[in-house]
Chains A and B, each alone.
Chain A
Amino acid sequence: MTASPGAVAGAVARWRALRMPLLALAAALAASGVVVVLAGGDPLLALTALLEGAFGSPDAWSEVGVRASPLLLTGLAVTIAFRAGIWNIGAEGQLLVGAVMVAWLGTRVGAWPSAVALPVLLAAAAAGGAAWAGIAAVLRTARGVDEVISTIMLNFIALGLLGWLVQGPLMEAAGAYPQSDAIAATARMPRLVGGYRVHAGLVLALLAAAAAWGLLFRTALGFEMRAAGLNILATRLAGLRTTGALLRALALSGALAGLAGGIEVSAVTFRLYENFSPGYGFTAIAVALLGRLHPGGVVAAALFFAALDVGSTAMQRVAGVSAVLVSAVQAIVILALLAFEQRRGQTGAA
């Protein structure tokens, strides 16, 4: 049986879409190997340790799922913003605000059944993230403030407020550590498999990816956002409202990032403390770009970076290569994508 021309064209298109991210990954892995060798490590040992650490046991798989949830949600947040032409660098700050909402309200819902408490908490987390992103959106629409700078500043403001909250108003009743009280049992996200930490938040994140795909490619709102991202002026000439698209995209982006933070507290940490997020909102930029700003690609990229994160801890232990190598891998992936785009004659990122 021969494949129909349509199927062949589809396969070619799929390969074209996948080629750049795969080449970028190969470049990143090769360059990281060089870094490991220069650092006096054994790249093969490092790689096997990394793979063993990420996939070597059911527990490792579970941990990859745990890491992938916030990366996927923040990656989607960045995707939606970048698609709409908004450089939201503030996913980390929006995530922190979402986490604060759940930590703050989560200690007060002990009397509620989980079926009520969880949706309320997650909605509050999303609202908190959206509101934090909304500050940047309003500054942009009302005062013309570039969102790159404002979202960066809002990250640090959120970080400072978090530090103050866990040492002040939200500090645990025992007063021993700079952390909030543990949230109520009914505020905790159910786990998917008994004995493993992987939780229902991963399912929510995957559903969010499906919803983001539907929104971007199957609704008028998504068309409006993508049009705004491609060319603000042409969009305006075509009679589409760019201000509204900007506000909606940034609020939605913030809501997804806030949800990521809320789920992290509800399912993993159960309380708030400084540095509970290892910079998910920043890794999210690499996740979104590697995923080619496509929700399906973002799922794959989030799983990849989650596996890299989990595996790198084992790599550090076994091969003595610092786990922050992961940051370099993320950087090289982004730079390689930028370089490939240049070679294809495109300009700009995304």
Chain B
Amino acid sequence: MTALLEAQGLVKRFGGLVATNNLSLDVQAGECHALIGPNGAGKSTLIAQLAGELPSDAGSIRFDGQDVSRLGMAARARRGLVRSFQITAVLPEFTVLENVALAVQARLGRHYGFWRRAAGQPALRDPARQVIEDIGLTARAGAKARELAHGEQRQLELAMALATEPKLLLLDEPMAGMGSEESRRMVALLQRLKGRVSMLLVEHDMDAVFALADRVTVLVYGGAVATGTPAAIRADPVVMEAYLGTDDGGWEGAA
């Protein structure tokens, strides 16, 4: 089996700080791969490198059988490597439907339509409505994104990424800032997506990670210290020492 995403020897330095330290990682097709680690371990930097937002200082990234190391963010997104943002990045003055329809348009790729109303085009509207229904935002489809509650904005954020029909979703803390009820719903949603779309999930909520992930990679100081099944990671003595700490309360950010 070949990996859907294969990163090898990735390095990112910010001045003297090594944010990503010779990191290798793979995501198999259909897998939900979680990335955990303490604050400052370089998780968000790694996501930005994989998405093509930050250029890497060294290393290579293969995606879906192609070397994408030199492609920009938009070009990688068009190949199906799509990220969501930790800090919600929806278009505030657009309605929910317009936000998602724009994501559908991004997938279809024809932006130079000058005459036909976008809102009246079934090719944009119908898939957008479908994704909105899947994500559970149908009742809010006509509301502007800035009017949504935080949890709803997080849902919309995910809906936009999904509407591009990605092969691999890079999810940067999808539960960030959510209440426990909202988190539960988001986990249920991601559970339903599992298998349909491959995921690389950065998350602090350990309950969510262990509920969703097929494999977990632990990141410390920009390097992967361990990769394995959730059960193996929990039992791994290296992980315990480096990250979990010796006492049980060491899970950083755990709910």
Q: Are A and B subunits of one complex?
A: no
Chain A residues with a Cβ under 8 A of chain B: none
